[in-house]
């Protein structure tokens, strides 16, 4: 099947791939239900926080006072995705310090309930508060500390380049892009379609009208170009790309596919990226029959998965489940770097 005629048929294949991960999706849904069930009780817990102005020295960490109402997520709302990432980072810092919730709360002079809210994203903290929390934990000098503090700044607003697009995005789509913008390592898997963060402009413009029916291609490319160029925490994002060989023959215009292949070959020579190809004769199994990403972040060991489906769009998923799948594909299906480069060069030569 050549060109873009196969995208709708591919959607069925990708949906079947989703079935192979249904157990992990159920785990995510169960976790969301668990959080929802505890929301009301958490909302009524006593609150206090380190609320001094970030520019004012804090002489005594034990001095705590009530959190303002507008700094607490209401019980009937989900916390923002970046607030959850920040909370995960602070949880990792607390565990690194070997502190229980009660021990950490005692050091901070706050209620245990408030600390739980912060770590689950249901209460917000500003950069000054985060700095004092890390200082109290004894990890302020850790390499990841400044990244965590910077996350508190960014949790309040999307990246400037994303702000102009948020009004047309779904809540799920916005969450995906907010999380991606913070990821310092993105492990990308492409089946039938080159992963977005590894797409060349010509390739994207060719497939966009079929993947996003009715879209403004210029607007969509502006968004993707900024996603690709974005530097999370002011560092160059690392990319680890695995692409099924089937994705290398799906665009009917040779010059467009050649441009995409040259782009992938350029990535293989970058110190910030690796590209591996799954040969056409590799054994296929359902769970790798769709595009997905595994996102990792500085300052926390947590991972977040992202699934991509034609027409259906992108959604967040279990990071650990998709990391396990990624590792399986890498170990059992993907060719090594040298062989992968040879496959790319062979496809490029065939187009000349």
Say yes or no to pLDDT of 25 above 80: no
| Alpha carbon distance 237, 267 (integer Å) | 13
**pLDDT score for 50:** 33
Cβ atoms of 188 and 242 within 8 Å: the answer is yes
Q: pTM (2 decimals)?
A: 0.69
Q: Is the pLDDT of residue 297 over 60?
A: yes
Query: Tens digit of pLDDT for each residue in 77-136?
Result: 456 778 888 998 999 999 999 999 999 999 999 999 999 999 988 888 989 999 999 999
Q: How far is CA 94 from CA 37, 119, 302, in A?
A: 25, 10, 14
Give the chain's count of helices (H) and strands (E). 14, 6
pLDDT at residue number 78: 59
Among all chains, which residue has been given the structure tokens 């009660």?
102
Which two tokens mark 105? 């709360």
- The tokens for 107 are 């050091």
Burial code (b: 16+ CB inside 10 Å, e: under 16) for 240-276 equals bbbbbbbbbebbeeeebbbbbbebbeebbeeeebbbb
- Residues 277, 334, 325, 91, Cα dihedral to 10°: -80
């Amino acid at each position: 099947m050549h060109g873009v005629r196969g995208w709708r048929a591919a959607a069925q294949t990708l949906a079947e791939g989703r079935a192979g991960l249904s157990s992990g999706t159920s785990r995510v849904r169960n976790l969301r239900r668990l959080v929802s069930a505890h929301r009301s009780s958490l909302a009524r817990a006593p609150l206090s926080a380190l609320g001094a102005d970030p520019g004012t020295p804090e002489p005594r960490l034990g001095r705590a006072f009530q959190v303002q109402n507008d700094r607490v997520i209401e019980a009937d709302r989900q916390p923002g995705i970046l607030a959850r990432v920040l909370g995960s980072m602070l949880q990792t810092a607390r565990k690194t310090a070997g502190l229980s919730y009660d021990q950490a709360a005692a050091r901070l002079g706050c209620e245990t309930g408030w600390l739980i809210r912060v770590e689950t994203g249901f209460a917000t903290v500003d950069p000054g508060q985060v700095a004092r929390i890390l200082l109290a934990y004894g990890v302020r000098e850790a390499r990841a500390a400044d990244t965590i503090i910077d996350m508190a700044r960014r949790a309040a607003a999307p990246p400037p380049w994303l702000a102009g697009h948020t009004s047309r995005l779904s809540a799920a789509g916005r969450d995906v892009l907010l999380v991606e913008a913070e990821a310092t390592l993105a492990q990308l898997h492409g089946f039938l379609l080159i992963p977005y963060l590894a797409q060349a402009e010509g390739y994207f413009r060719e497939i966009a009208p079929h993947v996003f029916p009715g879209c403004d291609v210029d607007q969509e490319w502006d968004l993707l170009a900024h996603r690709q160029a974005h530097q999370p925490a002011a560092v160059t994002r690392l990319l680890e790309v695995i692409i099924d060989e089937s994705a290398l023959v799906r665009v009917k215009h040779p010059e467009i596919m050649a441009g995409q292949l040259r782009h992938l070959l350029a990535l293989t020579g970058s110190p910030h990226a690796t590209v591996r190809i799954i040969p056409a004769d590799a054994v296929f199994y359902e769970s790798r029959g769709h595009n997905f990403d595994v996102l990792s972040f500085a300052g926390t060991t947590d991972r977040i998965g992202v699934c991509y489906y034609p027409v259906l769009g992108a959604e967040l998923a279990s990071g650990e489940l998709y990391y396990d799948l990624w590792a399986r594909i890498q170990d059992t299906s993907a060719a090594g770097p040298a062989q992968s480069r040879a496959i790319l060069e062979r496809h490029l030569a065939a187009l000349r």
